[in-house]
Amino acid sequence: MSAQGALSPAALPVLLTARTIVTRDRTRRRRRGAVVTGGLGLVAGALFTATMLAGSFAVSPLDVLASLLHVTHDPAVDFVVWELRLPVAVTALGVGIALGIAGWIFQTLLRNPLASPDFVGVSSGASLASVAAIILFGAGGLAVSGASLVGALVSCGLVYVLAWRDGIVGYRFILVGIGISQFMLSLVGYLLARAEIYDAREAMAWLVGSVGFAETAEIAALLVAVVVSLPIAWLLGRPLRALELGDDAALALGARVEWSRLGLIAVSIVLVAVATAAAGPLAFVALIAGPVAMRLLGPAAGGLLAAGLVGAGLVLAADLVASHLLPVALPTGVVTGLVGAPYLVWLLATTNREGRGG
């Protein structure tokens, strides 16, 4: 312990006390993090279970479990469980985790609660490419997902390059992102206006977003991306904790600032892109998940997993409301939009008052 080498013996008791206090503080923060994350996991698990059980065709929980484990083979039950409910539940879970984590990374990295992939060009790029694929090329299924992925990457790459000036500054990134976003959305509007009515309807359904449309291949791509991205995001969480202190502090701490930022943005874009490919641009999930997780965690900072679980909970709950609680079944995106829009208004109002959001 080189730092203590020069201390006088009289300082020792003070230091021992300080040591105990540091240990206690850390233990407390870790415990809160574990409890909150565990709790969010339970909530997400419960909502997942509810999604598997809810529906007009009554299947008992035991039958659902038996079908999932291939214990029984009742064609009707198997169809409901494997073809109708499981894809929706898994898509909602994967999309929620992906959007929650991506949103949290963007917000933490750019140090701004408004820095959601919804606004910085990722979702709009995916939307434009997908709508173009549907309307101009009559594409469907996986082709639309692929287009969405490419659109998200190109659009965010464009924002990154345009915002670059000896490095990336949060504000410029967000402003350029909003500009690119608006540009993309106006092109979407143009495409919709000149489309055949059937194509336009299909495109509109895609644009609202729903977890009910994903095909097996899209779900598989989503799961692979989430499973691969999670450990990468977790590893990059280490430099992210330094980056949060500002570029100068992060450089002084020995972080590779530009590479880490590029890696974090890349992981987020891939997550948003596969989520958008599977469920369309579900509004506001990425914007809300991070702040909710941060509020629940409080001093136990570092909410990567918590944000993902909040995202999963949001999408699962939104889908349950959209497909079962409302008199008419609606796309999931309508519900997340209804919840998210007031939050955005509140966020803009309060961040301005605190002088952070601009």
Query: What is the binding site for other proteins (CB under 8 A)?
Result: 1-8, 11, 14-15, 17-19, 21-23, 25-26, 28-29, 108, 111, 166, 235, 238, 241-242, 244-246, 248-249, 251-256, 294, 298-299, 301
Angle at 252 between CA 247 and CA 258, to 5 degrees: 45
Return the closest-CA partner of residue 188 out of 149, 138, 137, 133.
133
C-alpha–C-alpha distance, residues 289 and 20, integer Å: 34
At closest approach, how far in Å is the CB of 8 from other proteins? Answer: 8
Nearer to other proteins, 255 or 283 (CB): 255
At closest approach, how far in Å is the CB of 134 from other proteins? Answer: 40
Return the closest-CA partner of residue 92 out of 223, 190, 217.
223
Place of tokens 């495109």: 203
Work out the burial of residue 338: count CB atoms within 10 Å of its CB; fewer than 13 is exposed, 13-18 middle, 19 or more buried: middle
At closest approach, how far in Å is the CB of 242 from other proteins? Answer: 5
Kindly state the DSSP code that residue 328 receives in the 8-state scheme: S
Show the tokens assigned to 343. 């939050």
At closest approach, how far in Å is the CB of 224 from other proteins? Answer: 23
Helix residue spans in 194-215 (DSSP H): 197-208
Nearer to other proteins, 129 or 300 (CB): 300
At closest approach, how far in Å is the CB of 17 from other proteins? Answer: 7
Q: 3-state class of 166 per DSSP?
A: coil
Nearer to other proteins, 78 or 244 (CB): 244
Nearer to other proteins, 48 or 106 (CB): 106
Nearer to other proteins, 2 or 56 (CB): 2
C-alpha–C-alpha distance, residues 214 and 46, integer Å: 22
Show the tokens assigned to 328. 């008419």
C-alpha–C-alpha distance, residues 153 and 156, integer Å: 5
Place of tokens 């529906």: 55
Nearer to other proteins, 137 or 259 (CB): 259
Nearer to other proteins, 17 or 182 (CB): 17
Q: 3-state class of 289 per DSSP?
A: helix
Backbone angles phi, psi at 70, to 5 degrees: 60, 30
Nearer to other proteins, 98 or 110 (CB): 110
Nearer to other proteins, 8 or 56 (CB): 8
At closest approach, how far in Å is the CB of 254 from other proteins? Answer: 3
At closest approach, how far in Å is the CB of 81 from other proteins? Answer: 39
At closest approach, how far in Å is the CB of 34 from other proteins? Answer: 15
293 neighbors 100 (Cβ within 8 angstroms): yes
C-alpha–C-alpha distance, residues 44 and 276, integer Å: 20
At closest approach, how far in Å is the CB of 49 from other proteins? Answer: 32
C-alpha–C-alpha distance, residues 110 and 341, integer Å: 21
